[in-house]
Homo-oligomer: A and B are copies of this chain.
Amino acid sequence: MPIRTGQEYIQSLRGRKLTVYLFGELVKDPVDHPMIRPSINAVAETYDLAAREEQLASPMSKISGKHVNRFLHIAESAQDLVLQNKMQRKLGQLTGTCFQRCVGMDALNSLHSTTFEIDEKHHTSYHKKLLEFIKQMQEENFVIGGAMTDVKGDRGKAPHEQADPDLFLRITKRTKDGVYVKGAKAHQTGCINSHWIIVMPTMRLTEKDKDYAIVGAIPADAPGITYIYGRQSCDTRSMEEGDIDAGNSKFAGQEALMILDDVFIPNDKIFMDGEYEFAAMLVERFTCYHRRSYVCKTGLGDVLIGASAAISDYNGIPDVSHIRDKLVEMTHLNESIYAAGIASSYQAQEMKSGVWLNDDMLANVCKHNVTRFPYEISRLAQDIAGGLVVTMPSEQDFRHPVAGPLLKKYLAGRKGIDVENRVRILRLIENMTLGRNAVGYLTESMHGAGSPQAQRIQIARQMQLGYKKNLAKSLANVKENADETPENSDYFKRVFKIPQK
């Protein structure tokens, strides 16, 4: 029976044999660890939303013929891509953090077209196996993690050139039943909260890297996997008594290092094996989906704008013109991100396999704004919050019989405002601008789905300077042969494409 609710999801995680290190100790059961639990809660919310808002989050899938969680759905139209974005924004609003499932969704969708095109060339059967896998996941309603980022070692060298061959995930052994892989994947969002994990190469490969050209699905608790939990700013506040200082006590993100030591992948779960020339295609399609998935951050932006509005209320100055103006600026920046994301989804195209792929130029523009605007929104939130956001005493002091009443007397704001509520909102702002969820709202906005320079390279590849130079030369009456540089992009074809009804 499939998992139907957040509660059932949490239950499904219990009793697995995971090797997870945290603070130098093996974690008994992640579900019960107070520092890990908020990240599980965030994933659970993706189940509850699907149950609550079917049209938004539970589309009908052609693959299984059922309503499935959108995170397991293959996009059958541009509209499906747009609805991914809308669901992402909604979940960002509900959790104020990273809910960890976009990588899996984007991996499935990018594999859909890539496996199809590998099969087309190599007469392999990856696509069929993938569809079977997706169907199985949909029927169980599992969480899929996508493991792409290798640890990389010396960044100036290819996988096969590294001093240690394990610095990129690779096949170490083959049997008739499948392959064994070894290596490590860094910054693995939500990996411990996943049921299955799809490993994928992280960059363009050459023939000599053939053993690194492996894509396959593995249960998260497969033998040979070790997880080492990543620290986040203020993470241990989740382990303190009380629920105020954490800022957002219910929800958080999760990043871990995932080490694979000769982990087995059976043949029916292998979706690429050696077709190195398709690694770049897979990475590019994945990042195309994923850079636009950062629309989720506008949901977090909505929360932070709301918190800023609330604190200005509590401080008694909501209508001061410069405060209002800052809230407008925050909104403007937030919606600029949203706009680029959904524009990318709307300006999608159908791939040979039938899956839809959003526009790559606009996906990069979206993500590039994500590496800038949340920082400015965060700065403005701190401006509105006032200095108290970083000088408030601990919740224990508020609960202390002597210190508590002093704090309530002296931190009183506008009449009728409860001091504790004021503190709670300030702690939420701290959480999102300096604390645990600042990791997701800021630093992962910077580096997730590729650092800023990666977007600039991708924008550069698509900017069609030849096309544009010809426009300029025509208007300037420059008489010379038209620039014949072949363009490595068809962006303007997409821009000016007329959709057929």
Interface range on chain A (Cβ under 8 Å from partner): 35 or more
CB-based contact B310/A473 at 8 Å: yes
A369 sits at the interface (CB 8 A): yes
With A231-B392, A328-B463, A465-B309 as contacts: A155 and B315 at CB distance below 8 Å: yes
How would residues 356 to 385 of chain A score, 1 for a CB under 8 Å from any chain B CB and 0 otherwise? 000001100110110110011001001100
Copies of this chain, tallied across the complex: 4
Q: How far is the CB of A420 from chain B (nearest CB, A)?
A: 8
Interfacial chain B residues near A3, Cβ < 8 Å = none
Of A127-135, A196-204, A208-216, A397-405, the one touching chain B: A397-405
Residue A340, interface by CB 8 Å: yes
Q: How far is the CB of A459 from chain B (nearest CB, A)?
A: 5
Any B CB within 8 A of the CB of A313: yes
Q: List residues of A (163-181) whose CB comes within 8 Å of B's CBs.
A: 163-164, 166-167
A394 engages B463 (CB within 8 Å): no
B342 and A347 contact, CB distance less than 8 A? yes
Interface pair A410/B184, CB less than 8 Å apart: yes
A307 with B453, Cβ < 8 A, contacts A233-B234, A415-B154 known: no
Whether, in the assembled complex, A286 has its beta carbon less than 8 Å from a beta carbon of chain B, the answer is no
A362 to B337, CA, bound (A): 11
A391 with B230, Cβ < 8 A, contacts A316-B156, A346-B346, A498-B56 known = yes
Instruction: Please tell me if A247 contacts chain B, counting CB pairs below 8 Å.
Output: yes
Stretch at the interface among A10-18, A276-284, A442-450: A442-450
A390 touches B475 (CB 8 A): no
Contact A456 B342, beta carbon cutoff 8 Å:
no
CA distance A372 to B256 in the complex (A): 33
Q: Which residues of chain B are within 8 angstroms of A344 by Cβ–Cβ distance?
A: 339
In the complex where A234-B233, A430-B233, A472-B310 touch, is A21 in contact with B228 (Cβ < 8 A)?
Answer: no
Interface-facing stretch out of A89-97, A137-145, A264-272: A89-97
Are B305 and A468 neighbours in the complex by a CB distance under 8 Å?
yes
In the complex, what residues of B have CB within 8 A of residue A21's CB? 393, 397, 400, 402-403
Contact of A322 among B407, B453, B469, B496 (CB under 8 A): B453
- The answer to whether B303 touches A409 (Cβ under 8 A) is no
Tell me the smallest distance from the CB of A308 to a CB of chain B, in Å.
Answer: 8
Q: Considering the chains assembled together, what is the distance between the CA atoms of A154 and B406 in angstroms?
A: 17
- A438 neighbours in B (Cβ, 8 Å): 434
* Interface core residue of A83, A315, A389, A456 (most chain B CB under 10 Å): A456
Residues of B within 8 A of A418 (CB): 480
Q: Report if A479-B421 is in contact (Cβ < 8 Å); known contacts: A93-B471, A306-B472.
A: yes
Q: Per a CB cutoff under 8 Å, which of B229, B234, B456 touches A325?
A: B456
Chain B residues with Cβ under 8 A from A427's Cβ?
Answer: 476
Q: Find chain B residues with CB under 8 A from A479 CB.
A: 421
CA distance A82 to B501 in the complex (A): 14
**A305-340 interface bits toward B, Cβ cutoff 8 Å, 1 = contact, 0 = none:** 111011001011100011011011001100110111
User: Which of A315, A339, A471 has the most B CB atoms < 10 Å from its CB?
Assistant: A339
Judged by a CB distance under 8 angstroms, whether A86 is at the interface is yes
Measured in the bound complex, the distance between the Cα atoms of B327 and A89 in whole Å is 31
Asked if B164 and A409 make an inter-chain contact with CB atoms under 8 angstroms apart, the answer reads yes
**Which residue on B lies nearest to A256, using beta carbons?**
B391
| A233 and B410 contacting across the interface, CB-CB below 8 Å | no
Given contacts A236-B236, A336-B365, A443-B434, contact A448 B387 (CB under 8 A): yes
A164 touches B412 (CB 8 A): yes
Per-residue CB proximity of A19-61 to B under 8 Å, as 1/0? 0011111000000000000000000000000000001100000
Contact status B391-A187, CB under 8 Å: yes
A443 with B382, Cβ < 8 A, contacts A328-B456, A463-B327 known = yes
- The answer to whether B154 and A390 touch across the interface, beta carbons within 8 angstroms, is no
Residues 95-126 of A contacting B (Cβ, < 8 Å):
95-96
Are the CB atoms of B342 and A346 closer together than 8 Å?
yes
**Interface residues as binary, A240-253 with B (CB distance below 8 Å gives 1, 0 otherwise):** 00011101111100
User: How many angstroms from the CA of A444 to the CA of B248 in the assembled complex?
Assistant: 23
A469 CA to B311 CA, complexed, in Å: 9
Interface residue? A275 (CB, 8 A): no
6 more contacts with CB within 8 A, not counting A339-B366, A371-B383, are: A154-B413, A305-B465, A306-B465, A306-B471, A421-B480, A425-B473
12 residue pairs bridging A and B, Cβ less than 8 Å apart: A24-B403, A153-B412, A228-B397, A228-B406, A233-B234, A233-B434, A332-B459, A338-B495, A375-B379, A379-B446, A383-B451, A390-B439
